[in-house]
Structure 1
């Protein structure tokens, strides 16, 4: 499948696995990696046979943030096709980092090692998060006099308690996996080296469900997050009622009654 110099793409059943693949730099973000991520999200959206996405990193690391030198393009050929892609779509890097794009399929993060700065910012665009027990998290930008512009000043306090969000943003300190789980940044801590395995197991559970229902549920959770309860409940009915009229819904109830696995056809 398509990929780039620093981003590998593979299929495991109905799951698309995107691997940040620059282990010599602890998978720091580069231009080829951003283009590969963008294309991976677009592929997942376009291919109905893909029902979930797992995002992980190679070499025992998730992502150590942005490689500012690499992102500047210093020393690269101005005619490089990767730079041409970024010039053609100035928003591409934000879509790649899930700041300006929300995949319609569930995204599961499988984290080993460092997931800091830009890594923690990308993490906030994922839906389910699993980490090895030695993984570390944090937003280090203020330590360098920088601003975490990948969405963290908006998203983090909506995902974890405000006091923990501000502490993470303002101290720039690292968070071990156990603490990240305690404050709700991640959902599961597993033995080192098994995060990807656990993520694929979770993806398989999702893949067995009705895809129309899964995608509608994900969209509704995100789209109602900033609404009042009353407005959110109205939107839930708008999104949820049509699902009951689908052939997949009928197949699901029929399969339950017949004590067999359902065969969903996105219809």
Structure 2
């Protein structure tokens, strides 16, 4: 896929790198960006050669959220994509990972501001790396708005509720260190190295059995709200078939032969 004028797409081995590319507007969400994101998630799921996705932003910025100038009635760039929204009124929510969960692991590489809609998209990713100067926050209430990208539901499930409510109700900015302390991101790295670190993590994911990786990710999410008993039963349904794959046999054989496994999604 070729991306759009506000969403750059490239391959790094088995990793698809999606870059929010509207730095002059702090990568604020636009129609071209949303369409490009949605197409990126679909392309990653459809291509078995892609084993992971890295989401990042251009120009030292992740995403400043919705384009408030457009929201105020000053127009949004990319009106020629309007037919895509008409064809699928849910497209923007799928693009923001509100109504879509890719089966491949998604790793966020955050430099600079990741606020409002940026923090909402972040909650749809699986592994999160932040640069030291990255910032986070849900500013909607401070502007008389509602964080309708899923944050009132997801955030309290991802970090302790007291921290979720403070972020949601104060509209204040959080540092990367604070975000790591409350569990919103997993790693804080030197400025300029978030993407490199995310790609290193992706390479480790890519080296694992793809059928196993996808089954593990699916199990984690589908059992999250189950009782322990129901979750353990569901885990067996996801897990046992993995043992009966050629990839599982290859993994055991490679371990015995002290070599790197060659997985074929079989």
TM-score bracket for the superposition, by shorter chain length:
over 0.9
Q: How does 1:125-204 map to 2 (within 5 A)?
A: 125-204=124-203
- 1:225 aligned onto 2:238: no
Any stretches of 5+ residues in structure 1 without a counterpart? none
Any stretches of 5+ residues in structure 2 without a counterpart? none
**Residue in structure 2 matched with residue 216 of structure 1 by the alignment:** 215
8 Å CA contact 1:56, 1:110 repeated in 2: yes
**Residue in structure 2 matched with residue 53 of structure 1 by the alignment:** 53
Structure 1 residue runs of 4+, over 3 Å off? 68-78
Q: Deviations over 1:56-102 (max 9, x none)?
A: 00000000000034468855799x54111111110000000000000
**Residue in structure 2 matched with residue 30 of structure 1 by the alignment:** 30
Give the number of aligned pairs: 266
CA RMSD, 1 decimal = 1.4
Q: Equivalent residue of 1:83, what SS?
A: helix
- Displacement, 1:2? 1.4
Q: Deviations over 1:20-41 (max 9, x none)?
A: 0000011000010000000000
**Residue in structure 1 matched with residue 205 of structure 2 by the alignment:** 206
8 Å CA contact 1:30, 1:71 repeated in 2: no
**Residue in structure 2 matched with residue 18 of structure 1 by the alignment:** 18
* Whole-angstrom CA distance in 1 between matches of 2:134 and 2:232: 37
